[in-house]
Structures are given as C-alpha cells and as structure tokens.
Amino acid sequence: MRGNNVLGILFAYVHEERVRELTENRVMASIPYGGRYRLVDFPLSNMVNSGINKVGVITETNYQSLMDHLGSGKAWDLSRKREGLYLLPPFGAETTRRTDARIETLSSIMRFLKNSHEDYVLLSDCDLVANIDYRDVFRFHTEKNADITLVYRRGTSPDTDKNCVYTIDPEGVVRDMLVKRGSDADCNYGLGIRLISKDLLVKLVEDCMSRNLYDFDRDLLQRCLPDLRVVGYEVTGAAYPITSFGSYFNANMALMDPKVRAQLFTSTQPIYTKVRDDMPVKYGLGSVIGNSIVADGCFIDGEVENCVLFRGVQVKKGAKLKNCVIMQDTVVGENTRLDYVVADKNVIFEQDRSMAGHQNYPVYISKGSRV
C-alpha cells in the first residue's frame, strides 16, 4: 500500500566540491553510477520503496542534467495527481537563495514544507549508494520516541576530515557529534540521512534564521543535542558514500562483488532509473570479457576486464580496457589501451591511444573530450 506520513527532501547539490571532476557539468545527484544509474536514483528509489510519495528535490546550480533525468518522475512512479515529485530550484516564488547553506535553503522552501500534510520529513543528501528501507528508520524513530533520528554506519570513516562522527550510547541516543572529522579506528559516521518531525524542523530552521546561524550540522543539529532526543539508526551492509574521486571509483568497482549487488539491487526494493530504450549489449566475434558490469546499448568487440561500462559504450576491435569506468556513449577506438581510466560521457578515444592511471589515482577524462 502506498503512502505514509513522511515527506522526502533531497539535497541534490551538497558536497559537490568533493568530486569537482564529475560535478563540473552536473549536480552531485546526477553523477552517473554503476552502468545505468545516477546517484539520485538510490535515495529516490529508497523513498518510493518505503512508501514516501511526496519528494521535493532541492537544486542550486547546474541542475539541467538532473531535470532531464528526473523528468516528471514517471520512472519512480512519482508522476501523479496526489503528491509526487517537486523540483525546488533556487528561484522560488518569494525568495531567491544566494548561498547553498542548507538552513537558508530550507527556509526558502518554508511554504512547500508548511503546505505538505505529512507530519514527518526525511532529509537526505544525494552522495550515498545504498539500499535502505526508510520504514525501518521511521519505526526506530517512533519506538525510541525520538525528536531527530540520524542514520549512521559503523566502520572506518570514509575520509579523514569530512565526516560527522557520532558518540552513541547503548540506548541509541546520540551524546556527542563532531563535525568535519574522521577517525582511523572504527567510528559511527553519518550517512547524510535525517528523520525529524515537520513542526520541529520548521521551528529549528526559523530559530536558526533569526539568529543568523547557517550551518545545518553545527548550528542546527549540534545545538539540539543537550535539549532534544537525538538518536542514531545504524545501517549495516553495503553503503558507499561518494566523498572523493577515489571513493567514486571504488564504489563502482565494488559492484563486481555479487554480495554487494545482491544488497543494492533487490527485486522487492528495486532501484529505478530513467529508461533509455537501448538494445541489449552486443558482443562481437573475438570479444573477451571478464569481471565486468555492462549496461544496455554497448557494443563490445575488444577486451574488457574489471570495468564498469555505461549505456551505449563502444569498445572496438583490439582495444583493451582494464580497471576502467566508462560513461555513456563513449567510444574506445581500435587497439586503444586503457588502464585505471574514468572517462566521462561522450568521450572519443581514437585508434592506438594508450592511457594509464594508478589504483590510487585513476585518470579522469572530461565529458566530450577527444583523445
């Protein structure tokens, strides 16, 4: 059955500076991932699969590719008369946002928030690849009688200085939270997903605005810890925060593990994406392929090993690809060799080219380049 009492809000743009290469022409949310997805597909599909049927997507700049991807929201079943998908660009009816500070952003969509009849709001960033059932988060929130629930994962932090690190007591209550930190040892790092009642969110945002406080983590969440009941919900299993170019590469490569794929792509909670109506992959005579993910519309005549190939990629005869992530419609010419290369969309590698990066430093080729 559809419908629950939760409104979804996606911050499509946050943390773009962490993967500057990939966000030059697009927002964080529309970074291609895993052969056929964009990062937004994960939080958006999770929301829809969890019964959330009203989602607002907040954008800042560069959001054309995201609008193109989301369209009316049909692919996520969000194109409907009751509720559905709402794009919230910076130029609203009454306000024009000038900063990408989250609190000001939320303040600028106050009317949207207040007009929504849902009692709860799930706020999510678009930099996490994971399949999470938010119904479990909601249940936890209710059981713990929480004011705010923060979703975290336990392990070594993805970065040394970019995480929210929580101290959580055995009850599940967040006792302390450090912003922009990391840890060598196991820690509880935030995944950028928060559940909060709508009235409380409105109150906290208005309070911050009236005090000239703009940092969501420091000024809103951290300040709440002493007075409100903030709890942590632990996610186990596959979850890949995209916090750097390296982590983006590794998150793609993680898909070669059948266990990871089984956790990310379940038949009961599928990840939806825009349909492109490509034909199935055509493998030619003499093609050699191993340990690779290949999306529809590819033509493979060369050799491919440990690669993620997006829709419509062409690998010509004699080409050898190893440890590469090749995005939509890129063409790899005859006898070209690539190793540890991330090629953006519509790149053309001519014949007999050779390029190699390193495991720690894959080479990035920007959108539409000709090599």
Partner 1 sequence: MLPKQEVVAMLLAGGQGSRLGVLTKNLAKPAVPFGGKYRIIDFPLSNCVNSGIETVGVLTQYQPLELNEYIGSGQPWDLDSTNAGVHILPPYQRNKRSDWYKGTANAICQNIPFIERYNPDYVVVLSGDHIYKMDYSQMVAFHKEKDAACTIAVYEVPMEEASRFGILNTREDDSIYEFDEKPKVPKSNKASMGIYVFSWDKLKKYLIADDEDPKSQNDFGKNVLPAMLEAGERMFAYRFEGYWKDVGTIESLWESNMDLLDPNVSLDLNDTEWKIYSRNPVMPAHYVAKGAKVQNSLVAEGCNVYGEIDFAVLFAGVYVAPGAVVKDSIVMPGARIEEGAVVQYAIVAENSVVGANSVVGERPEAMENKDDWGVAVIGPGCTIAPGTVVPPKAMIDAEEVDK
Interface residues toward partner 1, by CB under 8 A: 34-36, 74, 255-256, 258, 261, 264-265, 270-272, 275, 277-287, 289-297, 299, 305, 308-310
Question: Is the Cβ of residue 1 or residue 285 nearer to partner 1 in the bound state?
Answer: 285
R_g of the chain, CA atoms, integer Å: 21
For the residues of 98-115, what is the DSSP string, one character each?
-S--HHHHHHHTHHHHHH
Question: Is the Cβ of residue 68 or residue 199 nearer to partner 1 in the bound state?
Answer: 68
CA atoms within 13 A on the CB side of 318: 10
* Cβ within 8 Å of residue 302, ≥6 positions away: 287, 288, 315, 316, 317, 318, 319, 320, 321, 332, 334
Question: Is the Cβ of residue 20 or residue 368 nearer to partner 1 in the bound state?
Answer: 368
- The DSSP element (H or E) to which 199 belongs, if any, is helix 198-210
In whole angstroms, the minimum distance from the beta carbon of 362 to partner 1 comes to 19
Question: Is the Cβ of residue 245 or residue 283 nearer to partner 1 in the bound state?
Answer: 283
DSSP code, position 241: E
Question: Is the Cβ of residue 150 or residue 324 nearer to partner 1 in the bound state?
Answer: 324
In whole angstroms, the minimum distance from the beta carbon of 302 to partner 1 comes to 12
In whole angstroms, the minimum distance from the beta carbon of 140 to partner 1 comes to 27
Backbone dihedral angles phi then psi of residue 296, each to the nearest 5 degrees: -55, 150
Of 330, 254, 252, 243, nearest in space to 37 by CA: 252
In whole angstroms, the minimum distance from the beta carbon of 350 to partner 1 comes to 21
**170-196: b or e for each residue (b if 16 or more CB lie within 10 Å)?**
eebebeebbeebbeeeebbbbbbbbbb
Question: Is the Cβ of residue 127 or residue 303 nearer to partner 1 in the bound state?
Answer: 303
In whole angstroms, the minimum distance from the beta carbon of 184 to partner 1 comes to 33
In whole angstroms, the minimum distance from the beta carbon of 265 to partner 1 comes to 4
Neighbours of 313 (CB within 10 A): 29
In whole angstroms, the minimum distance from the beta carbon of 248 to partner 1 comes to 17
Question: Is the Cβ of residue 76 or residue 166 nearer to partner 1 in the bound state?
Answer: 76
- Measured between alpha carbons, how far is 39 from 128 in angstroms, rounded to an integer? 7
Residue length of the chain: 371
Question: Is the Cβ of residue 264 or residue 331 nearer to partner 1 in the bound state?
Answer: 264
CA-based angle 151:154:159, to the nearest 5? Answer: 90
- Measured between alpha carbons, how far is 248 from 344 in angstroms, rounded to an integer? 13
Of 61, 46, 63, 65, nearest in space to 8 by CA: 46
Question: Is the Cβ of residue 224 or residue 313 nearer to partner 1 in the bound state?
Answer: 313
In whole angstroms, the minimum distance from the beta carbon of 355 to partner 1 comes to 23
- Measured between alpha carbons, how far is 345 from 310 in angstroms, rounded to an integer? 9
In whole angstroms, the minimum distance from the beta carbon of 153 to partner 1 comes to 22
Alpha helices, DSSP H only, in 35-80? 41-49, 64-70
